[in-house]
Amino acid sequence: MTAILRSSKFKTDPNGNGGQRRSAQIQELVIQAGLEACDINLYSTNRIDRYVGGLIFLAKHKFNAYPSHRVISLCGKQSKIYYDNLNQHKGSKLLLWEDTENYIAPYVAKDFDFNILALPHNLESLVPDQRDPFTYQPLPDSFANEAKQLAKANAVFCIAREEQWLLKLYGIDADYLPYYPPQPILSNLLELRQLRQDTAPHRFLILGTAINPPTRIGMIEQIQWLSEISQGVNFTIDIIGYGTETLKDYCCDPRFTLHGTVDSGKLNHLLLNAKAVLAHQKAGVGALTRIPEMLIAGVPVIANANACRSAFSYPGVYCYDSRDELVAQMSRTLDTPSILERPADAETRFINCLKKLTLTSNVTHSLV
């Protein structure tokens, strides 16, 4: 297989969180393209070397950064790591750039004549209360800088239609690669779908990682909305996910059962009994990986407009914008959604782009 380099803060773990599952999806497509993605090797560097290296990098590239010891040293550390990895790489000169909040990568990649394929898991500058990691600027300057860095890539594939649209407004010809679960997850979801045919689901399920600020804020608001709904409305809700133990003070209503962090066996049991999964976000970026997964498992999804971005047209997704609409969706008959189709055309475009950028890179070396 031909080796390419991958820069990401996520491991390719199909059993991990949403970011790790997205990385696993990408890895699966890389293998289908006949390539092998080798991760950037991270290591610690000397404090003085970091600072001096940062000054050299900033001067060479006229890189806009806040003039602090911390930021200058960060530039020096990252530029050194990328310089060494790219210099030692013997495969094709193609960098899969997943950690697109790391703005150093494209500068060093261009120094080594690498092609760059950017795969932002989300537009990082649009995360609530997020500031530019190098200038500390808030919106809108932080987004303008993020778009400037993404424009350095030879190709960009977004996980969300909304982010593709936004980047196109900034002159970046971004493509769209929606999330679809990699094979190990897909097999489990299809098995769950089959098992659900012999059940009578009657409970609602809220799941998410509560240590993620946008997810936590959305879960709290949804719990508050549901708590304010009249006691005469008949529903029971299970709440699960990493860190959800911290939501105990919000779950006083007896209609809620807070399970906290659960293993895969418990998760599957709750999914078998779920009438629908409830998803709610006050603000969010990227796209929720759990929505296509739930639909494939045969579980309908009731989500507010912020949460179901890029999934409005999916069969089995029921959208709401108010408490009354939420109650109406929960009270209706929810049929088993059809199996979500693979985004075959998008996958083909991505694989073809990978092959093209590999062929046009300067050096190709097959791993033995």
Looking at the chain, the whole-number percentage of residues with pLDDT higher than 90 is: 87
Residue 120's pLDDT band (cuts 50, 70, 90)? very high
Q: CB 336: neighbour CB atoms within 10 A?
A: 16
pLDDT of residue 363: 45
Residue 231's pLDDT band (cuts 50, 70, 90)? low
pLDDT of residue 203: 95
What does the pLDDT look like over 5-35, one tens digit per residue? 999 999 998 888 889 999 999 999 999 999 9
Bridge partners (DSSP) of residue 5 are 38, 95
Encode 301-329: b = buried (16+ Cβ within 10 Å), e = exposed. Answer: bbbbebbbbbbeebebbbbbeeeeebbeb
pLDDT of residue 122: 96
Q: Name the 3-class secondary structure at 116.
A: strand
| pLDDT value at 225 more than 60 | yes
Looking at the chain, the whole-number percentage of residues with pLDDT higher than 70 is: 98
The mean pLDDT value for 116-130 works out to 94
Contact (CB, 8 A) for 270 and 205 = yes
Enter the pTM of the model. 0.93
pLDDT of residue 357: 97
Domains along the chain with CATH numbers? 2-180+345-359 (3.40.50.2000), 183-331 (3.40.50.2000)
Contact (CB, 8 A) for 39 and 4 = no
Question: Token pair of 112, please?
Answer: 């080594």
DSSP class of residue 115 equals E
Mean model confidence pLDDT for the chain: 94
The mean pLDDT value for 188-206 works out to 94
| pLDDT value at 232 more than 70 | no
pLDDT of residue 361: 72
Name the pairing type of β-strands 115-118 and 203-207.
Answer: unpaired
The mean pLDDT value for 93-113 works out to 97
The mean pLDDT value for 355-364 works out to 77
- DSSP labels for 75-102? HHHHHHHHHHHHHH--S-SEEEE--TT-
- DSSP labels for 232-281? TS---EEEESTTGGGGGGG--STTEEEEES--HHHHHHHHHTEEEEEE--
What does the pLDDT look like over 272-328, one tens digit per residue? 999 999 999 998 899 999 999 999 999 999 999 999 999 999 999 999 999 999 999
